[in-house]
Structure 1
Amino acid sequence: MIRVSIYDDNDSLRQTLVMLLDTTDDLLPIGAYPNALEVTQTIVVDQPDVVLMDIDMPGRSGIEAVRLIQTLPAPPPILMLTVHEEPEAVFEAVSAGAMGYLLKKTPGSRLTEALRDVAAGGAVMTPTIAAKLLGTFQPPKRPAPASSFDLTEKEQEVLRRLVEGDSYKLIAAHCHISMGTVRTHIVNIYQKLHVNSKSEAVAKALKTGHY
């Protein structure tokens, strides 16, 4: 039998979870608590094989409880069951030591399967939650050149040459325009980027991707 301890402040849900586990042949609810204020003591007494933990509870959050459980000599694996699906909450729970993260809308059959997986040493997440967690590790995308500064095609070309370090003379040669036209484009670029110098224009272009 897989011994399960439950921590959730929702009385109705807590009772439903106990009844759900009672209908299985291999999952045994050994403790159901409305808060995690004495979580380390109850874990030591109950000796669960897996813990089912809510996040929002009075007095002590489920994530704080997960951290405390990790201080025990032989902490049991923990499966979070919560309404929170924000990447920050998932990351914080996993970082604290949780081995699984499911939402409360998860079907009962999937939940019992997840408890078995976590008890066996596996890690469990729904595809949606996993995607959100992975998204927090993705590098920020370089801003795509946009038209928010209303640069013309020729002004973008001149700005690109500025970023590459070309002199006004080289810009004129590359763009096939006169020096006077180069200066006119640069004045327009400064106005549209709201800058006052070449260095500021280059810095803003690099920062925003507008080149």
Structure 2
Amino acid sequence: MNIKVFIYDDNLSRRDSLKALLELSPELEFAGEAINCSAAVQDMETCFPDVVLMDINMPVVDGIEGLKTIKQNFPHIKVLMQTVFDDSDKIFECIKNGASGYILKKDPPQRILQAIQEVYEGGAVMNPSIALKVLEYFKPQEQKSPLSEREQQVLQLLAQGLSYKMVADKLFLSFHTVNSHAKRIYEKLHVSSLGEAIAYYYKNLHQ
């Protein structure tokens, strides 16, 4: 059975080239087209596509609004976003609203056909440069320690079980200075015991 594909794009030559691409592919079938998403519900009810190729930037009603409308009313229809931008905010907006994938218009024809097939089969498709942005976005932010470098050294040695006196000897500091560092560590970390400070070290600073 052929995969029926509906195209949203306000660029006529782009729509024509996508149609030609679909017609050359025996397992795909062109279901319909529109220049924006102002009649998205009607388009879906008339054409019953399996997959929608959705341009993001279109006049009147854009692809993000169209995506929301289609997913709310026809959750089974797969929507594959396509754009010239690999714009992070728009990517996440689309992913949050149920897009099945995201390709760039400059992706080669073979990749576009493959993407349609993949989302139809339930996969999630992402152009590599977009996948990288998504990973960057979800990567935990580097935690900046509130402690100075010297305070971190002191805490590291205390975490290794050294006493204040041993830390003082090792860092060529006076006992009084180590004691002052320890107090500042407690204040900065909002802890009241050495055990809590060491727990913070192992959780946040220990590589």
- What is the TM-score of this pair, normalised by structure 2? 0.72
Q: Is the 8 A contact 2:88 2:133 kept in 1?
A: yes
> Aligned match of 2:167 in 143, 166, 174?
174
Pairwise CA distance, 1:97: 1.1
Counterpart amino acid of residue 40 in structure 1: V
Q: Is the 8 A contact 1:18 1:32 kept in 2?
A: no
Structure 2 Cα separation of the partners of residues 62 and 104 of structure 1: 14
Residues 157-195 of structure 1: CA distance to partner in whole angstroms, max 9, x if unpaired? 46878x98xxxxx85763243467x39xx7xx9xxxxxx
Pair 1:74–1:128, CA change in 2 (3 A): closer
Pair 1:158–1:35, CA change in 2 (3 A): same
| 73-82 vs 101-110, greater mean Cα deviation | 73-82
| Aligned partner of residue 132 in structure 1, secondary structure | helix
Pairwise CA distance, 1:155: 7.1
- Structure 2 unaligned blocks of 5 or more: 191-199
Query: Which residue matches 1:86?
Result: 87
Runs of 4+ aligned residues of structure 1 deviating over 4 Å after TM superposition are 154-161, 170-173, 197-201
- Structure 1 unaligned blocks of 5 or more: 165-169, 190-196
Structure 2 Cα separation of the partners of residues 9 and 15 of structure 1: 11
1:134 aligns with 2:135: yes
What percentage of residue pairs aligned between the two structures are identical? Answer: 36
Structure 2 Cα separation of the partners of residues 75 and 114 of structure 1: 17
Q: What are the residue-to-residue correspondences of 1:61-210 with 2, within 5 Å?
A: 61-73=62-74, 75-143=76-144, 157=153, 174-176=167-169, 177-178=173-174, 182=177, 198=184, 202=188
Query: Which residue matches 1:25?
Result: 26
Pairwise CA distance, 1:95: 1.6
Pairwise CA distance, 1:49: 1.4
Query: Which residue matches 1:3?
Result: 4
Pairwise CA distance, 1:80: 0.8
| Aligned partner of residue 32 in structure 2, secondary structure | strand
Counterpart amino acid of residue 174 in structure 1: V
Q: Is the 8 A contact 2:168 2:175 kept in 1?
A: no
Report how many aligned residue pairs link the two structures. 189
Q: Is the 8 A contact 2:54 2:63 kept in 1?
A: yes
Counterpart amino acid of residue 62 in structure 2: S
Residues 112-164 of structure 1: CA distance to partner in whole angstroms, max 9, x if unpaired? 12112222222212233223213322211223799xx8x6xx67646878x98
Q: Is the 8 A contact 2:36 2:59 kept in 1?
A: yes
Residues 34-54 of structure 1: CA distance to partner in whole angstroms, max 9, x if unpaired? 111111111111111110001
Counterpart amino acid of residue 202 in structure 1: K
Q: CA RMSD in A?
A: 3.6
